[in-house]
């Protein structure tokens, strides 16, 4: 499986900086911190303020998430969506073979 970036990596610390990551449905999320877990937060598409999912990412690790194209996402240091400085990068991607 090939993962191909389709745009630039962006950061979106806290809900005030939320992003749709170029309206991508597939997003590579990378915790660039050398220590400490950071969290990815997905927002409900009906109001863009209610968190519907939260993922923990260990330091120096990444994961691919699937979301709706217009769905907002942001990162935080706390599981509840607070705490800036999470240092997570969001890269829009597509899958190929």
Q: Please state, as a whole number, how many other Cβ atoms lie within 10 Å of the Cβ of residue 37.
A: 15
* Fold for the domain defined by 2-96: Jelly Rolls (2.60.120)
pLDDT band at 95 (very low <50, low <70, confident <90, very high): confident
For 48, the 3-state DSSP assignment is: coil
Q: What is the pTM of this model?
A: 0.92
**CA distances to 29, 68, 76, 89 from 19, in Å:** 13, 12, 13, 11
Q: Which two tokens stand for residue 56?
A: 């923990």
Residue 79 predicted with pLDDT over 70: yes
What CA–CA distance (Å, rounded) separates 47 from 10? Answer: 22
Q: Please state, as a whole number, how many other Cβ atoms lie within 10 Å of the Cβ of residue 82.
A: 11
């Amino acid at each position: 499986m090939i993962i191909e970036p389709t745009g630039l990596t962006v950061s979106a610390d806290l809900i005030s900086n939320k992003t749709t990551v170029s309206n991508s449905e597939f997003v590579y999320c990378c915790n660039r911190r050398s220590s400490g877990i950071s969290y990815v937060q997905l927002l409900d598409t009906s109001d863009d303020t209610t968190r519907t999912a939260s993922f923990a990412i260990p330091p120096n690790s990444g994961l691919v998430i699937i979301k709706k194209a217009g769905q907002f996402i942001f990162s935080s240091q706390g599981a509840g969506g607070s705490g800036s400085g999470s240092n997570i990068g969001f890269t829009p991607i597509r899958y190929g073979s």
